[in-house]
Every structure is written in structure tokens, then in C-alpha cells.
A and B are shown apart, each in its own frame.
Chain A
Amino acid sequence: MRLNLRVWRQKNGDAEGAMATYRVDGISPDMSFLEMLDTLNEELILRGEDPVAFDHDCREGICGACSLVINGDAHGPERTTSCQLHMRSFRDGDTIDVEPWRAAAFPVVKDLVVDRSAFDRIIQAGGYVSVPTGSAPEAHATPVPKADADHAFEHAECIGCGACVAACPNGSAMLFTSAKVNHLGVLPQGAPERESRVLDMVAQMDAEGFGGCTLTGECATACPKGIPLPSIAAMNKEWLRARRKAGRS
């Protein structure tokens, strides 16, 4: 395959960026999108140019490192991560636009790499359960109903890639935050911190400069792990419940 690429190039966070055009040849339809970028970078290095910086790690669709907006879609046209997107999703001769996540809370570090540590700080604010260390507890000591376990697992699938923020016209992190609030809030292990978790995570989310939710549904459409939109409504419910409880105590 022969492709025209238009890639966002930006030296660092303070520099001005622009789209740069590249031609790549000899692309196999079985290559992943990242392998196609590797091919481009090898050529750039041979030519003595600066290779395109992009985040990647496991390349198995489970780590949440890759973060490309491809033709305006977070992670491209398929519902998966950029690393699991294959070139067979494109046609020979296509022009493909590659851009970084766009959000005030995700500043560009270089080219296609953005700083997503705002997500880490949201998790630090309450996305955990406090458990005593020591020997592993008896597995049946804390029964979890099947429906709750399924609900928790569905939300535990979030890999924190940030596609929801990138897709949202408001740069909102509601879907990401709601994934963790739903995941831990429904489990007995998460019950002791149920109220403080949602209040602190939402407070941190707002403090990081993410936008609010206008229920456009773009986040859930972009999510490679299929975190559903109703999770946001569930988090709103949790937040209002926690506020009521906080008001009483």
C-alpha cells in the first residue's frame, strides 16, 4: 500500500506545531497502524530527520499507552486501540491525518505524545481501595453477587488511554472517572470509601481543567473498551448520594 500521511509535528510543549505531509510506500495491509508509523520513522531516521514521537507500549490493546487521533477519530475508524488497528482498514492511496489527543488537561509533550498524568492524579485522589496487607483473605469471605461482579468487571476494563477525553468536544474526563467509580463503588471491598472516592475523584477531575459533560456520547463511541455512556449517569447518582450523606454528617 502507498499512503499519504499528514502528521502533527511539534518540537515540544512550548513550540508551535503544524501538520507535516509524508509519503510511505510498501505498507502491508496486515501491519498495525503503529507498525506503519515505525516504517515511516525508519525512513525518517535514514534520511537524517527527527522521527515522529508517539506513545506505545504493549501493542496488544491492553496498556492504554497508544493515543492517536486518526482522521478525526480517537484510535481511528475501528473500535479498538491504535496499536490493534490494522492497515486493512484503509485503502491504497488514502490520505490519513494523525493528530495527538486534544485537551487542555493533556498538554502536548512532543509530536503525538501528550502528558496524561492528570489521569494518574484523578486515580490518586480516590480510585483505589484501602486493604490491610498480610496473608491473602479466604476467597469466599466476601461474597460478591454475579451481577455486581459483572458490572465491576465491565468498568475495570478501562485502560486509561484517554480516548474519551480526546473525543469529547468539551475535553471532559467524566467517562474515565465514572469507570473507576462504578468499578469500585459496586464491590464490597470499595464500600468503606464509596462516598469519599466519588467526591474526591470528581473534585480532582474538575481541578485538572477537564470540561463538563454535555452527554454528546462521543466518549462512549470512541472508548476501545466499550465503557458505556450510562456509567456517567451512574456516577452522577453516586456523587449526588455522597453529597447528601456528607451534608448529614
Chain B
Amino acid sequence: MALATKSGRNTARPPAAAPTRGFWASTIGKKTVMAASGLIMLAYLVAHVTGNLKVFFGPEEFNGYGHWLRVMGAPVLHHQWGLWIARIVLLTAVVAHAVSAYQLSRRDIKARPTAYVHRRKGASYATRTMRWGGVVLGLFIVWHVLDLTTGTVHAGGFEEGRPYQNVIDTFSTWYGNVIYIVAMLAVGLHVRHGFWSAAQTLGIGNARRERALTFLANALALVLTAGFIAVPVGVMTGVVS
């Protein structure tokens, strides 16, 4: 056991806050929120990449898929209700993820106020880029929605209901390709550490499942990044035109 060192005022230092059993007050509670919201967004990304790959089967199928998203759940759900439910769930997940990440990060930085003079190579690249990678992804999502959902910053004439042409417009600009590909690499890195970490946070991880979870995390990261990047590459090479 650690020594209770006897010396002056330092030892008398009271804990920074009163202990509480509350869910949101706890670092584990906040991490649980981050893990659960992350998994919701990850599930969405898997559906999103699957839909994106339809672009390789021509404008009819891709635009038809876009239209189906609006009548999803019919006749039980009214026009666009399914889409709006998905948007609300995703927005809630993004906000919960960002707020918990922000609060935990601030706490973590405060908990280690002095850096070591002798610096050493830290954890893996994916682990070290979680915070800034997350910020990059947040900014990307804003641009992505303004580009291909609302068309506010879209290059060329944005046409609602013609996603195939809109996608080609975006990936016909150099900056569209650069922003998108960088963001998709960030997604891969974020998912790689994020998925595995979420499993640990939710208590699913253990020594026996370690290999399976690492494999699944790497596979998800690779499939998502490759799948998403395939679209701009397809436009650039003329496969999608």
C-alpha cells in the first residue's frame, strides 16, 4: 500500500469534490454515454456506406435508394418520418458523444497538469488522435450536410432528389475530394480505437475476447474507410460518371 507521507499542508489536501454515486457525475457514466452514442453512430455508418456503394450501380438505382429513404417505414410512417427519426437519433448521439468527450477531456487534462521532461513515444496513433480526430469529424459532418443534404455550399447546381449528380459534382472538385478523403481516414482511425474502447467501457471486453474485438475494430475501420473512399475514387477514375 502506498505510504501516507506525513508533511505539512500537502497531506491535509482534501479531495477536490465530494464523492457521488451519480451516473452522469461519474467518469465511467460519461464514458458509457460516449460508448453507447458512438456505437449508434457506428451502426449508422455501416448502413451509410452500404447505401453509398449503390452509386456504382448507376443513377437509377442510387436515386431510387435516395427516394426510398424518404418513404422508409411506409405505410406505417408518414413521408420522411423515418428519415427524421433517424436524424433526431443521430443528432442526439452526436451531441451526447461530443458533450461527454469534451467534459472528460477537460477533466483528463486537469488530472495531468505537469508533463514529463523526458518525453517518450506514447500510445498508438489512433489512440492519440481521438480528440482532435473527433473535432475534425464534427467539422466534416457540418460541411457534409451543407454540401449534400441542404446544398448550401454545394459546387455546381444542387438538385434535390438527384443525389447521383450531386455526388459527382462534389467529387469533381479537388477540395471536395481532399476534405472527404482526409475525413474518411480520420473515421477509420477513430473507429479503430473507438469501437474497441466502447467494448471495454461497456464491460464486454475481456482477455478471451481480446483478439476477436481487435480484429472486429480493425475490420470495421478498414471496411468503412475503403467503402467511403471508393466513391470519390470512382468519380475521379470515371467509373462513376
Contacts and interface: CB of A to CB of B under 8 A. Distances in A.
Given A71-B120, A117-B5, A212-B30, A203 B203 contact: no
Contacts of B61: none
A107 B118 CA distance: 19
Interface string A225-244: 00011101111111111010
Contacts of B123: 169, 216-218
Given A230-B205, A243-B23, A209 B5 contact: no
Nearest to A67: B2
Given A99-B117, A102-B116, A236-B28, A13 B10 contact: yes
A3 interface: no
Given A97-B118, A212-B31, A236-B28, A103 B112 contact: yes
Contacts of B119: 72
B233 interface: no
A183 B110 CA distance: 29
Going nearest first, the 5 A-B pairs with the smallest beta carbon separation are: A237-B203, A211-B111, A170-B108, A72-B120, A171-B111
A159 B122 contact: no
Interface in B1-55: 1-5, 7-11, 13, 15-21, 23, 25-32
13 contacts: A12-B8, A72-B120, A104-B113, A118-B15, A121-B15, A170-B107, A203-B19, A207-B17, A209-B15, A209-B16, A233-B200, A237-B202, A240-B202
A207 B15 CA distance: 6
Given A72-B116, A215-B200, A234-B206, A55 B4 contact: no
Interface stretch (A34-42, A84-92, A160-168): A160-168
B26 A206 contact: yes
Nearest to B20: A203
Contacts of A217: 123, 127
A69 B9 CA distance: 24
Interface residues of A, number: 75
A204 B27 CA distance: 11
Contacts of A24: none
Contacts of B110: 104, 209, 211
A236 B31 contact: yes
Contacts of B11: 109, 115, 117
A53 to B, nearest CB: 10
B114 interface: yes
Q: How large is the interface on B (under 10, 10 to 19, 20 to 34, 35 or more residues)?
A: 35 or more
B203 A202 contact: no
A13 B8 contact: yes
B219 interface: no
A99 to B, nearest CB: 6
B3 to A, nearest CB: 5
Interface stretch (B64-72, B90-98, B191-199, B224-232): B191-199
Contacts of B142: none
B204 interface: yes
Given A104-B112, A169-B123, A199-B21, 5 more contacts: A109-B7, A120-B1, A203-B26, A212-B30, A233-B205
Contacts of B122: 169, 216, 218
Given A102-B112, A109-B10, A213 B120 contact: no
Given A119-B2, A123-B1, A239-B28, A99 B116 contact: yes
B13 A202 contact: no
Given A117-B11, A169-B122, A203 B108 contact: no
Contacts of B114: 102
A64 interface: yes
B31 A172 contact: no
Contacts of B159: none
A65 interface: yes
A232 B116 CA distance: 25
Given A104-B111, A202-B26, A208-B16, A116 B117 contact: no
B1 A117 contact: no
Contacts of B196: 215
A113 B107 CA distance: 24
Given A117-B2, A117-B5, A211-B107, A107 B21 contact: no
Given A104-B112, A115-B10, A207-B19, A233 B127 contact: no
